Structure 1
Amino acid sequence: MSSQQPRTVKQNLTIRLLRVLRYNKARIERALVLLPEEHRPLFHVLPFLLHVNHPDLPGYVAAEGEACFGLNNYSLREEVRQSIAAVFPEQAALLEDLKAIWPRQRAIDALVLMGSVGTIAQSDKSDFDYWVCVDSNKLTPTAMARMQDKLTALEQWAQDSFDIEVHFFLSDIEKVRDNDFGVAEGESAGSAQAVFLKAEFYTTNIVVAGKAPFWWLTPDSTTEKQYYALLNQLEAGGSPDLDWFMDLGHLDKLDVNELFGAAIWQLGKAMDSPFKSVLKMAKLEVFLDNLEREQPLCNLLKQRVHHGDEAPGNVANIDPYALMFDQLIAHYESTQQPDVVTLLQQCLYIKCGCKLSQPVEEGEVNFKRRIIAGYVKRWGWNRSQLRHLDNADNWTFSELVQLSRRIHRFLIQCYRRMSAQLKMDSQSVSKEDMTVLGRRLEAYYAKKEHKLDFLRIGFDDKVNCPVITVKQHKLKNGQPVWAAYYGNLLGKQGKAQDKTRVYTAETPEGLMLWCVCNRVLNTDTKVLLDYDTEPVVDNDLKSLIKHFVDIFPPVRVNAVSRQDLLEPAYIKACLVILNFTTMRIKPTVEEVTVVYSTSWGETFLVPGKEAIDKLWFELQEVFPRPPCYVFVPDGMQRKRIYQAFTDTTEYEFELLNYW
């Protein structure tokens, strides 16, 4: 290689670096523009709190000489100083002499933000997902543990002080390079999608402080051999300087063997964030269908950044989320799936939350609104369509459920189509992760006898009903059914009630339990009981709801622990309801309904006393023994009915208060 060639290589690396830095700066500016004004200081303060360690500041840990804080290449800019002063006005004296608390050692190589922040998908509710990149070879196990304590404390402080969910992922550079992301738990995908996770990181990352991934400087079509040849050209103190970068590994293609794990991971994430998961699941299907032709999205993005999107001044216009969305729409249009195209368009629009039908001041028109407005014009949407989507806060319950069902139907269909094409014996997801993810999906999606269905809905904050009307109807065969309706529908019939129906069940106990477990109602909900429901009265329902909320509160299946899912399901709580819809005149047990919840997050409602006999073994084998209760509605014979029940069982059941 001539002396000219290394110089040319380094010049090209420098040019790419300048464009990457410009793009990174634009992403930071976008993130700050979209953050509510009261949240912006947090963006600047978090890196500072990771850099220093002082008892009077959040995130302090007793380091005892261990290097467990300090950011590489970190310096204090004026806007950071202002943010720190605004957040910690009482620490003015401490902040005036920062040299006293400035670390001599730097334990953290980089703080890198990934996800929707700084893209059109950022919203006021977007999490801050940071990779805290470290070289564990240079840190003791004690230092790593102290650093994790510091990160956990800062996560809690951000939640308490700013009401923002912050996740710090302590990432060992060497393990990331080898695509080792641990096990699937909480926010971690584990073995389910290691290369996909790295691709997602490269697609969305913003370097907040410290070293940049060297991946950013290599051309999009680079091989692994070429990647390391370029890395070896760099020298400490050179231009570009080797000390500015970290090696998180090369990525030139995705791993088809991760697709199944990635698909079931997205199905799991859809339990909480269906609008995001529907786009990511579509991305997996598009990847599978274009396996031989397409580069990973992160490399297409990098190509755009390196080319300055054809002109250096336009590098700030590149948006990772929009790039992904364009790719999805092009695919589903080419495969002639107009219903899927419409669903993806609606999900993107709702996820971005621009509300174009509502006027804004001139200064409030930001990059996100401009991009979404461009999409809407291209799609040919009219004002009526925009108003309907912008008015989702006032949609009827059935409208909310209808869109959510379309989303989950698409997710399941995608999953099935991909499963049919994949060689299952070569999938890389570990056996344990497969068990955890599979059981999570089973708990949420699987239909089982007497099991309560989860309300698959993407609008958690809109599900709760402040007022519910409960009615009893008679079917043509004379069988009674119970239904809940949104709002005050006392005495109303016909279309008015059909539009507001929330759920129908065979019994009032089943109806109320479903509503409680799916966050439709709680103890603050005003429950109106319509006419002709004797012997059930208002206080019966209110008392039952109170106990359901206490014993069977809503469960987030994604929050069920990994350990619980690796073990067989066991009963966590049991409640027996006696004589709820009988006349309650005799001191005998005439009607039995058994409700129980399991360690996998499932809830069952089983009619008949024989249900207790079937649960005998499970109740006996669980240690410690799960709490078991009995609820008897109000009446003269209440305690005698309870006594008649306990006389015929071998278990201790605690009688719950009626009110």
Structure 2
Amino acid sequence: MLAQAIEKIDALDQHRIQRALASNNTHFKHVFYLLPLLLHYNLPELPAYVENAPHGLAKFTFNPYQKRFFNTLISETERKEVTDYAFDGLYSMGSTGSIVQTTKSDLDLWLCYSQELNQEAYQLIEQKLAKLTQWAKGLGIEVNFYLMNPECFKDNHHNYGVSEEHSGSAQHFFLLDEFYRSAVRLAGKRLLWLHLPDNAYKKAIKSKKIDLNEWIDFGDFSSLSTSEFFGASLWQLYKGIESPYKSAIKILLLESYAQTYPETKLISKQFKQKLLDNKTEHYHFDPYLAMLEQVTDYLKDRKELSRLDRLRQCFYLKAKEGKVLYNWRERELQALIKHWGWNAQQIALLNDRPKWKMKQAIVQDKMLVEQLLQSYRNLINFARKFHIDPSIMTNDTDILMRKLYSVFEMLPGKVTLLNPHITPDLSEQNITFIEAQEGSAMKAGWYLINQSPKSTYDSSQRFVQYNKNLHKLVAWAYFNGVITVSTKLHVVSRHIDLQKLRQFITDLRLFFPVSAPKISENELLHPNEIRSLILAINLTNDPTQHFADIRRDFHSSDLFSFNAFEQNLVGSVSIIYRNMWNEIRTQHFEGEQAVLNALKLLSNKIYRDSAPPQSVNVFCYSKQFRSELRETIADLVHRCISVQTGSIYANTFNTVKVAGRTWQLVFSDKNVKIKPVAEQAVEKVKRLTTLSHLSKKGENRVVVYPSEINDFASEGFLQFFFEDGKNGCFHVYILDENNHIESYTSCNGTKEEKIREINRLYAEQYLENDQNSIFNYPQFYQLLEEGEEVKIVPFQSRQHREFMQQKK
């Protein structure tokens, strides 16, 4: 039985390898064939050499291509056989050899090892893999290595945190499911689980009749639990940022799996059974076609035909990425299209993806987001139905939720960024901005149209985007790549002329880059502070445009309370900023208090004792006093930032006279308020009286808490901080979504019980009320005392577990 299984799986591997090579270029073939060779040998004459790096692949044998390459570089006299193997096997997984593998597909490789590695050996292997990755990239091939230890994997110990390619601890068994159903052995030992029926596999492990050293064993699925559905769904949403169509398929697969829980019908298990039961040697299994078949059956059973149609679109577009080659893949796709009953117009629209512009891109982006979030909501409801275990709220899960919050959460003032992987170029030749006044037939505000005012009407291509505020509409077009340096601008407005609009967009382009640096894990664990900031003064409301014969003998402070009428020369303040989580946020203020409200907002967005923004720019578009207004407001902005970041004391901040009244910004630990100076004096007396009264009664309710918690304050999240007390009790500090703090001291019981109860209450609230905010699940942290230093780490994270282990 085992010999037959080996024969069948070896034949399937060869079939997949042939298909992988059949539709790729010579560079892909070169990389694909040579990677096993370059991991087996580590010689100065070969690419990616690293001195003393562990090397050697068990059971490695040359194929003709490898032998020719090796012989051209290494003479027989210099050749030495590798006898000490560092690695047990090299496997490709994912789309390799499947219908969706294209010229744009990455190579995902599991490099398996079983021997213990010290830190030096591990670092040398990482250097070697980094060099191999760079070598392949130089040939146009993206390679991702996963250094995998089967025993560590079975114990759920992961070497990697969450990154673009690594899911960390967010998923385990679903990753194994994907590996088993798609693994292609390039070199090394075979996979034990794949070659034996489940009962025989368990007996082989217990009896040890099989020499386990000759096999690679990542375990089975006996411990699959509901908790994994949550982490895996978060991971697929995150992958949806970079690979939207693939993730939309995979998260639907998770949803279909959930419907059969606890007897989850994993594709890998179905595949193995069919493979081992099949009487013939040739069983050509395609993991992506199997996913499509399973999810199709699931959606048909639920009669969700619109979701099924969107699934088919995602599958087709994923399979058509990259250079189109007419081979077996194209024939398979044509057969699918015929079965689906698509018409020529549908196919032409999808095939035209490289030329899509705003109209098609927005439709696709909306479809993808709806598809991903619908599956996520269904999976969350499923997990809560089965009383999701709060132990899954690991460091990795917290980080994933914050990344997803920054991308998917819809918030007032936030600029929606279209997925950049839908189409390569959204730039338009002509963009027209039209202002609609109050009382007109159109909704008051600003409209963007992707045509010039006098162009011929074309409903199939014409697109209109609306926003109440001009600066947010411009920001949407700029950061989505709709407006570029070559775009011709047009404007229809009574308040804004073309010169002012062009200058604003030029300022934005010169001082605010479209692309943002990648977010680090450390940045996601801290507040989403402002990184880059722009203020546009009097862009849409300019009080100076009606002035004539203005006196020039004035002080800068007079600009907010000008002439005998004490008129404020600032009519509007438009704010655009990018925070540390790469969200683009906007805000707009009009009227006499626009400056004060803008200063208050910025002060509340700059966290106490944080680093100042990396760039701050103030631009003024007034007809008159342009430089004076810009300099005065820039000075106020920098002083507010300096107070919050600790460069100057709050009491050194001068008062500001606006429209005849004197105002002052009042700074406290948690927020900033604007108060008239007269009101300030009255309130100070009230406060002193109240404090005195509380002191006498012993009812002072001021919350005392560790200052380190301030570093973790993040709007939009409910956060719990545990601090160990004496005699086994603990304290809990709670920061709500608005960063208001509460404290509960000397709590009894266990933290895990508290977390379970909190999650249960949150789940009930979610199901009964608002389901829009779906990424602000409660987050839990632990305060650790290390000498005189207090550190805050995610609850049950690796750092937390190691700290607890040291205390025992």
Q: Does 1:508 align with 2:484?
A: no
**Structure 1 residues 223 and 458: alpha-carbon distance in aligned structure 2, compared to 1, 3 A threshold:** farther
- Kindly indicate whether residue 575 of structure 2 is the aligned counterpart of residue 589 of structure 1: no
Corresponding residue SS for 1:62: coil
Q: Distance in 2 between matches of 1:375 and 1:193?
A: 31
TM-superposed CA distance for 1:70, in Å, is 2.2
1:565 aligned to 2:524? yes
Tell me which residue corresponds to 1:123.
102
Instruction: Report if the CA contact (8 A) 1:472-1:482 is conserved.
Output: yes
* Structure 2 equivalent of residue 328 of structure 1: 295
In the aligned structure 2, how far is the partner of 1:133 from the partner of 1:589? 65
CA distance in structure 2 between the partners assigned to 1:499 and 1:491 by the alignment: 15
Mapping of residues 639-654 of structure 1, within 5 Å: 639-646=627-634, 648-651=636-639
Contact 1:552 1:597 in 2 (8 A): no
Match of 1:195 among 170, 173, 180: 173
| Conserved 8 A contact 1:113-1:206 | yes
Check whether the contact 1:123–1:352 (CA below 8 A) recurs between aligned residues.
Answer: yes
* Separation of aligned partners in 2, 1:646 and 1:348: 51
What is the aligned counterpart of 2:610 among 619, 622, 631?
Answer: 622
Give the aligned residue type for 2:630. Answer: Y
- CA distance in 2 between counterparts of 1:53 and 1:550 reads 47
The residue that corresponds to 1:72 in the other structure is: 58
Q: Name the % identity.
A: 24
Aligned position for 1:526: 487
CA contact (8 A) 1:332 1:338 kept: yes
2:769 counterpart residue number: none
Q: CA deviation at 1:94?
A: 3.0
Q: CA deviation at 1:25?
A: 0.9
Q: How has the CA–CA distance of structure 1 residues 438 and 649 changed in structure 2, closer, same or farther, with 3 Å as cutoff?
A: closer
Tell me which amino acid in the other structure corresponds to 2:583.
E
Q: Is 1:477 aligned to residue 434 of structure 2?
A: no
Q: For the pair shown, which has the larger CA radius of gyration, 1 or 2?
A: 2
Where 1:27 maps in the other structure, the secondary structure is: helix
Deviations 1:488-530 (A, max 9, x none): 424248x53784226333333222212232333444x423224
After superposition, what is the alpha-carbon deviation per residue over 1:167-211, rounded to whole angstroms, capped at 9, x for unaligned? Answer: 111112221232333433332212221111111111111111112
**Inter-partner Cα distance in structure 2 for 1:101 and 1:503:** 67
Structure 1 position 108, deviation (Å) = 1.6
- 1:162 corresponds in structure 2 to 139
SS of the residue aligned with 1:568?
Answer: coil
Residue 148 of structure 1: how far off its partner (Å) = 0.5
Give the counterpart letter for 1:28 in structure 2.
Answer: I
Decide which of 257, 260, 268 is 2:238's aligned counterpart.
Answer: 268
Q: CA deviation at 1:266?
A: 1.4
Deviations 1:220-263 (A, max 9, x none): x4376325147x2224xxxxxx6542122223574322111111
Q: Name the structure 1 match of 2:358.
A: 397
Partner Cα separation in structure 1 for residue 77 and residue 438 of structure 2:
79
Q: Is the 8 A contact 1:252 1:299 kept in 2?
A: no
- Listed as ranges, the matches of 1:2-17 within 5 Å are 12-17=1-6
In the alignment, is residue 307 of structure 1 matched against residue 254 of structure 2?
A: no
Instruction: Note the C-alpha offset of 1:648.
Output: 4.3
Shift in Å at residue 20 of structure 1?
A: 0.6
Alignment coverage as a number of residue pairs:
608
> Which residue of 547, 563, 576 maps to 2:535?
576
1:183 to 158, 161, 164: 161
Q: Match of 1:140?
A: 118
* Contact preservation (8 Å) 1:252, 1:295: no
Deviation at 1:637, TM superposition (A): 4.1
Q: Tell me if structure 2 keeps the 8 A contact 1:261–1:434.
A: yes
Match of 2:285 in 1: 318
CA distance, structure 2, for counterparts of residue 490 and residue 143 of structure 1: 66
Structure 2 CA distance, aligned partners of 1:476 and 1:565? 42
- In the TM superposition, what whole-angstrom CA distance separates every residue of 1:274-329 from its partner, at most 9, and x where no partner exists? 21111111111111111245431111112232234x5323x2x3111111111111
User: Would the aligned equivalents of 1:396 and 1:500 in 2 still touch at CA under 8 Å?
Assistant: no
Q: 1:413-432 alignment to 2 at 5 Å?
A: 413-423=374-384, 424-426=387-389, 428-432=391-395
**Offset of 1:650 from its aligned partner?**
4.9
Matched, 1:603 2:580: no
Q: Give, in whole Å, the separation in 2 of the partners of 1:590 and 1:147.
A: 61
Partner SS, residue 90 of structure 2: strand
Question: Which structure dedicates a bigger proportion of its chain to helix?
Answer: 1
Q: 1:318 to 1:497 in 2, by over 3 A?
A: closer
Q: Secondary structure at the match of 1:504?
A: strand
Deviation at 1:164, TM superposition (A): 2.5
Contact 2:355–2:423 (CA under 8 A) maintained in structure 1: no
Deviates more, 1:162-171 or 1:504-513: 504-513
1:48 aligns with 2:37: yes
For 1:639 and 1:536, the matched residues in 2 are separated by 19
Matched residue, 1:108: 87
- The gaps in structure 1 that reach 5 residues or longer are 1-11, 86-91, 236-241, 655-659
2:649 paired residue number: none
3-state SS of paired residue (2:250): helix
Aligned to 2:661: none
> 2:210 is matched with which residue?
234
Contact preservation (8 Å) 1:135, 1:173:
yes
* Distance change (3 Å), C-alpha of 1:647 and 1:382: closer
Q: Which residue of 2 aligns with 1:7?
A: none
Residues 112 and 207, structure 1, Cα contact 8 Å, conserved in 2: yes
CA 1:354/1:426 → structure 2, altered by over 3 Å: closer, same or farther?
A: closer
SS, match of residue 172 in structure 2: helix
Task: Using the TM superposition, give the Cα deviation of residue 342 of structure 1 relative to its aligned residue in structure 2, in angstroms.
Answer: 1.1
Instruction: Give 1:151 shift.
Output: 0.9
Q: TM-score, normalised by structure 1?
A: 0.84
Is the contact made by 1:110 and 1:210 (CA closer than 8 Å) also made in structure 2? yes
Q: Is the 8 A contact 1:53 1:101 kept in 2?
A: no
The structure showing larger relative contact order (alpha-carbon pairs under 8 Å, at least 6 residues apart) is 1
Q: 1:191–1:430: 8 Å Cα contact kept in structure 2?
A: no
Query: How far does residue 394 in structure 1 lie from its aligned partner after superposition?
Result: 3.6
Give me the whole-angstrom Cα distance separating, in 2, the residues matched to 1:498 and 1:384. 13
* Structure 2 unaligned blocks of 5 or more: 548-558, 560-568, 590-594, 643-808
Partners of 1:437 and 1:311 in 2: CA distance? 44
Amino acid at match of 1:176: F
The answer as to whether partners of 1:49 and 1:58 remain within 8 angstroms in 2 is yes
CA change 1:546–1:57 in 2 (3 A) is: farther
Q: For residue 53 of structure 1, report the CA deviation from its aligned partner.
A: 2.4
Deviation of 1:146 (Å):
0.6
TM-aligned CA distance change 1:45 to 1:420, over 3 Å: same
Q: Quick one: distance in 2 between partners of 1:294 and 1:15? A: 27
CA contact (8 A) 2:612 2:641 kept: no
Q: Which residue of 1 aligns with 2:248?
A: 278
Whole-angstrom distance in 2 between the partners of 1:461 and 1:209: 37
* 1:34 correspondence with 2:13: no
- 1:60 is matched with 49
Match of 2:702 in 1: none
Please state how far the C-alpha of 1:456 moved relative to its aligned partner.
4.8
* Deviation by residue 1:583-638 (Cα, 9 ceiling, x = unmatched): 56578433211222211221211113212223225536322553211123496743
Give the distance between the partners of 2:115 and 2:482, measured in 1 at CA.
47
Query: Is the 2:204–2:210 contact (alpha carbons within 8 Å) kept by the matching residues of 1?
Result: no
Structure 2 CA distance, aligned partners of 1:229 and 1:175? 19
Distance in 2, matches of 1:312 and 1:474, equals 71
